[in-house]
Structures are given as C-alpha cells and as structure tokens.
Chains A and B, each alone.
Chain A
Amino acid sequence: MSLITPDFGLIFWMVVIFGVVFFILAKFGFPVITKAVQKRSEHIADSLKAAELARQSVQEAALQREQMLEQTRAEQGKIMQEASKTKDAMLAEARQKAQEEAAEILRGAREEIAAEKESALRDIRTEVSALSLAVAEKIVRKELEETPEQLALLDRLSDEVSSAPIN
C-alpha cells in the first residue's frame, strides 16, 4: 500500500499544478483583490476623516455664527445703553443750562430791582430832603434866620429821615 509512500508521478504533477496555480493567482488573482480592498479601506478612512473635518468646520461655523450673533447683540445693547446715556446726559445738561439761565435771569432781575430800588430810594430821599428842606424853609423862613446851627440841625434831621426805613 502506497498510503504513506509518496508517489513520484503525483509529486511531479502536484509541483507543476500547484506551481502554475500559484503563479497565476499570485500574479493576477490575490494581489489585485487585496490591493483593491486595501485601497478601498484607505479611501473609507480618508472619507471618514474628511467627513469628520467637514463636521468640525460646520460646527465651528455654527459656533462662529453664534459668537457673531452674541457680539452683535452685545454691541446693540451697548449702543442702546450709550444712546440712552447720551440722551440722559443731554437732558441733564439742558436742564442744568436752563436752570443756570433762569438763575442768571433771576439774579439779573434781582440786581436790577435792587438797583432800581436804590435809585428810587435815593430819589425819594433827595426829594424828601429837598421837600422837607423846602417845608422847613417855608416854615422856618419867617421865624428863623438862616444860621449855621439851624442848617446843621436841618441836615441831621433830613439824615434821620432818609436813614429811617421806608414803610
């Protein structure tokens, strides 16, 4: 039985057949398939990476948009705040100016009034002294001579009159 003694003819044919099969498959078979599969898995890996990048950039863009919106909103708020502040400032200024002007006017008026009063008083006093002098002259002329003592007394009297408060 040649069960465990290899037969030369079969060895010969096996070498030939396996050699031919090996040659064909190693040249046209397996490398084509494995290369294609490897290329495809690389392609898939690249695509996944690209998708990841795209996803990231989309996320970034969304974030950026959010940021910009936030910024715009903040700016808007700031502008509004500033405007209201300016408004307030302007109002306050105007109010102050008006107050100042009013005060000025009042002061002017008061001064004018005071001056008018003064001049009126002076006029009155002059009038009164002249009047009283005239009165006194008229009264005294007949009875009294125009002596210096008499004149001094008259002056003193008229002073007293003028310094007295007017009621």
Chain B
Amino acid sequence: MRPNRLTVLLLLVAVFLLPLPAAASPQEEAPAVDMNEYIFGHIGDAYEWHITTINGKDISIPLLCILIDGGVQVFSSARLEHGGEYRGYRIAAKGQPHEGKIVRVSDGSRPVDLSVTKNVFGLIIDSIILVVLILLCARWYKKHDYLKEAPKGLAALLEPVIMTIENDVIKEAVGPDYKRFSPYLLTAFFFILINNLMGIVPVFPGGANITGNIAVTFVLALFTFLMVNLFGNKHYWKDILWPDVPLFLKAIPIMPAIEILGMFTKPFSLMVRLFANMLAGHIMLLSAVALIFLTAKMGPLLNGSLSFVAVVLGIFLDCLELLVAFIQAYVFTMLSSVFIGLAHQHPENETH
C-alpha cells in the first residue's frame, strides 16, 4: 500500500500549493515566461553565477572578467551587469552578434576573452573537490598499513570504483601496458563523473552545465586524441598510412584518407556524445520544472495537476540523470581505453 500512500501525500502537497500563485500576485499580471531565456540561461555559460531571484532582485556571485586586448584587463563582472559599460566593454545584447559575450563598445568585436565564467568557476570548484577527494583517499594508503587494514571511510568508498574502472575497463581495453594510461583514464572518468554529478545539484556549487558544454567535452576529447596518437605504435601508423588492402585502394589514397578521417571522428564522437547527453539531460529536467511556471496562468486546477506531474517527472528524471552521469563517464573512459588499446595492437603475424 506504500506507493498509494506516497501518491496521496504528493497530491495533498500539490493541492495545498494550489492557492499560492494566486495569493502571491492577486492583482498584477505575472510576466510571460520566456522559455528560451529560462532554459538557455540555465544551460549556457555566463559572466556571473546567478543563484536565484528574490522579489525581482537578482542574487548572483560576480566573477572575474579577464580580457587580453593590448594588455590584460581584469575586472568584476558586476560592472557589466544589466547592460552596463566598463572600460569600453559591454555584454552584447540579445539579437546582436556575439550575443551574451563581452564585446568592445566601439565596434562590437570581441577581444581575447579569458574570463572566469560560471563554467570555469564551476570547473575550479569541482576540480578542487575531486583533487581533495582523491588525495585524501591516497593519503589513507600512505598513513595506514594497507596490508593489514581494510580501507575505511573515503578509501573504502573510492577504492572499489577506482579498481572496477581500472580492472574491468582500462585493463581489458588497453591491453598489457595499461599502467601507463590508467592515470589519465581514471582522471578523465572521475573528472567527468564529478562534473556530471555536480551538474545535477541545483544550488550554488553545482548546477553549472559543465559537461554539457562543448568546449569542455572538446578538451576532454582532445586529451584522448593526444593520448591515442602520441603513444600509438608503429603498427597503428602503418595501418593508417599503408593499410593491408589492395594496392589500388592505397595508390589513390582512399583508405589512408578514410583512416585519417577516422583518427578525428573517434574523439569527435566522444565529444558530441558526452556533450549531447548531458545537455539533453539538463534540458529535460529544466523543461519538466518549467511546466509549473508555464501553467501558472492557466488556472489552479491545471497548474496544480501539472505541478504534480512535473514533480514526479522531475524525480524520475533526476534519478535517470544520476544514472546517466555515471554511464557517460563510464562510456567516455571505456571508449578512450578502446581507442588507446587500438593504437597499441600487435598484429598476430608480426615477427620480432
């Protein structure tokens, strides 16, 4: 009977919440919700970290704007808030080229922009969390006699995950000299995992759509690309430039061209997969929550029932996102391992 009770409880909560929107603004017409701004404001990057809006007042953390434009310009993003101008810069308004980015006031062109944006700041926070977690775990092994003691606390939490990834993914896919690559692959796994998980947390240190940003996944894929190609063996390069196919396929370099294209499509698929999955997850969650605001003006009954649906859907999507956060980190690591392993194959008929 438990699920039924839960349903009843949720329904009751929804019913009690019904009069709230009406009570909050009895006279004034609530402004229409701009879905585009709502969703892309949440999943996009920004110069400040917007936390919430209380009574029309934005509460946000100003971040550093760093511009290189014939010298380094450093100032707080609070100076550019609400279309403000500072030192000849402003944030391009909606509809203009470079929308939402810092541009020169004079001609609307962009300087070199190395600002610590919301995503950069989120990356820094998540990275500090990750480094602290892993180093604390490593410290346990230094401080304790790990031959006589079972791991406790953080080490007990992280060790199974680390060893599962190393033994089941990296060792299997990379092959015999997996030790050289496992630090990178483990770093990639945990980096993606922590950023994915922090992306689900809706309040301040989390909530930035980091792994759903193509620049981030681009760099991750770039690292994998470098790991694959910088350490590829002779056989790997021979397979690309002079593969075992009939001569006419190599004389006019069809196969080499395809293989070289393949070098880039593999990390490209990694980049797009992670980006699209995380972005889609964020958009789905935000859309579910948006149901509540979209139906606010459609009367209490519709708003209430759809709020209930939105909450249930939101819980379901959050659980799904937890799963996806792990799966995407796992898949990225596994495919990176496979690509590295493919660059380290030894053909069976090799004689030496």
Show the binding face of A for B, using Cβ within 8 Å: 1-15, 17-18, 20-22, 24-26, 28-34, 36-37, 39-40, 43
Contact = CB atoms under 8 A, between A and B. Distances in A.
A35 to B, nearest CB: 8
A36 B138 CA distance: 9
Contacts of B123: 13-14, 17
Given A11-B219, A22-B184, A34-B166, 14 more contacts: A2-B101, A7-B101, A9-B114, A18-B127, A25-B131, A25-B186, A25-B190, A28-B135, A29-B137, A29-B183, A29-B187, A32-B141, A33-B137, A33-B162
Interface of B: 40, 43-45, 66, 99-101, 112-117, 119-120, 123-124, 127, 130-131, 134-135, 137-138, 141-142, 146-147, 155, 158-159, 162-163, 166, 182-184, 186-187, 190-191, 213-216, 218-220, 222-223, 279
Contacts of B131: 21, 24-25, 29
A29 B155 CA distance: 12
A3 B219 CA distance: 15
B191 A18 contact: yes
Contacts of B66: 9
B44 A30 contact: no
A15 B123 CA distance: 11
Nearest to A25: B187
B304 to A, nearest CB: 33
Contacts, number: 131
A6 B214 contact: yes
Nearest to A19: B223
A13 B218 CA distance: 12
6 contacts: A3-B43, A22-B187, A24-B131, A25-B186, A34-B163, A40-B146
Contacts of B146: 36-37, 39-40
A18 B223 CA distance: 9
Nearest to A24: B131
Given A18-B219, A21-B131, A30 B214 contact: no
A99 to B, nearest CB: 84
Contact of B163 (A18, A26, A29, A37): A37
Q: Which of A14, A15, A28 has the most CB of B within 10 A?
A: A14
